[in-house]
Amino acid sequence: MSLTALTRMTVADALRQPVTWMMTGLSIILLGLSYMFGMFNFETEDRLRMLATTGASVAILNGLFLGVLGVSQGIHDELASRTALTLFAKPLSRGAFLGGKILGSLITVGASATVILGAHLILLWMAGRTSFEGSLLNPRPDEIIAVPWASVIAAHGLALCHSGVLASAAAILALRLPLAANILGCFALFIAGHLLSASGILGGVVIPGLAVFNIDDSIQLTGTAPSPAYLLGAVLYSALFGTGCWLIGLALFQRQDIP
């Protein structure tokens, strides 16, 4: 069984889980609530900024939950049920096993994130066209407000990179910790990664510098979309951190006996 086959199997299993679409639906509901609450704000621009940043935050939280839970649950179930032994006899390397679980979880998060992005863009279009209160079909020119489309789309893309970093870390912890401790550890890593992002090596290597994926300032300030170099650097950091986690997980997994 190849890496591609295991990744495809992981995605298919995750998309069949009700929790995947429950989280997606909950995220869309939160976006809708943000749209409605924005109608009570006095300044129209503030309403729009709140809706834009809320959407990016919801995407990050959705990816955090689905990415961490998907990788953790998948690895724990395979090891606990000894299904991993059958997979390794196909043959499937332990590195491909870890990689397939991480990639499959990330693709699942991507599918959910695409739905959330679509809902977010529709709500932003409605807000920008009507200023939250006007007519959607016949807006007045003075009602239409600018939407930072580039920054919003970039924020959703970085949210997916954010999910990839934490899913990779979850794969390492899943090899040594019980499921509940694994999930709690990843949520602690999420908090520490945002608080310690400027702490040198501690905030970039040992603990991921998750704040690099936060571009709320670009969303809040008109005409300050993140540069391509910044976005490329963030994607590269995510890929390098994920690769490092995979290598560490592989080293641990090679020495681990499956009971």
* Domains of the chain by residue range: 3-254
The mean of the pLDDT values for the chain is 84
- Mean per-residue pLDDT, 55-62: 94
Query: What pLDDT score was predicted for residue 240?
Result: 93
**Helix runs in the chain, H state only:** 3-16, 18-38, 44-80, 83-88, 94-130, 149-174, 179-195, 216-220, 228-254
Give me the percent of the chain exceeding a pLDDT of 90.
Answer: 41
- Mean per-residue pLDDT, 141-155: 79
**Residues 149, 46 contacting (CB under 8 angstroms):** no
**Residues 235, 162 contacting (CB under 8 angstroms):** no
Residue 54 is given by DSSP the state H
Q: Worst-scoring range by mean pLDDT, 46-55, 89-98, 183-192, 234-243?
A: 89-98
Query: What pLDDT score was predicted for residue 87?
Result: 62
Q: Worst-scoring range by mean pLDDT, 35-44, 134-143, 224-233?
A: 134-143
- Mean per-residue pLDDT, 54-60: 93
Dist CA 5 CA 27 (whole Å): 30
Query: What pLDDT score was predicted for residue 142?
Result: 55
pLDDT value at 202 more than 60: no
**Letter for the amino acid at 66?**
L
Dist CA 45 CA 35 (whole Å): 13
- Mean per-residue pLDDT, 116-134: 85
pLDDT band at 43 (very low <50, low <70, confident <90, very high): confident
Give me the percent of the chain exceeding a pLDDT of 70.
Answer: 84
Higher pLDDT, 115 or 255: 115
Query: What pLDDT score was predicted for residue 145?
Result: 73
The token pair that represents 246 in the structure block = 């995979």
- Mean per-residue pLDDT, 54-68: 93
pLDDT band at 243 (very low <50, low <70, confident <90, very high): very high
- Mean per-residue pLDDT, 149-155: 91
Q: How many Cα atoms within 13 Å fall on the side-chain side of residue 259?
A: 4
pLDDT value at 256 more than 80: no
pLDDT value at 107 more than 90: yes
pLDDT value at 86 more than 70: no
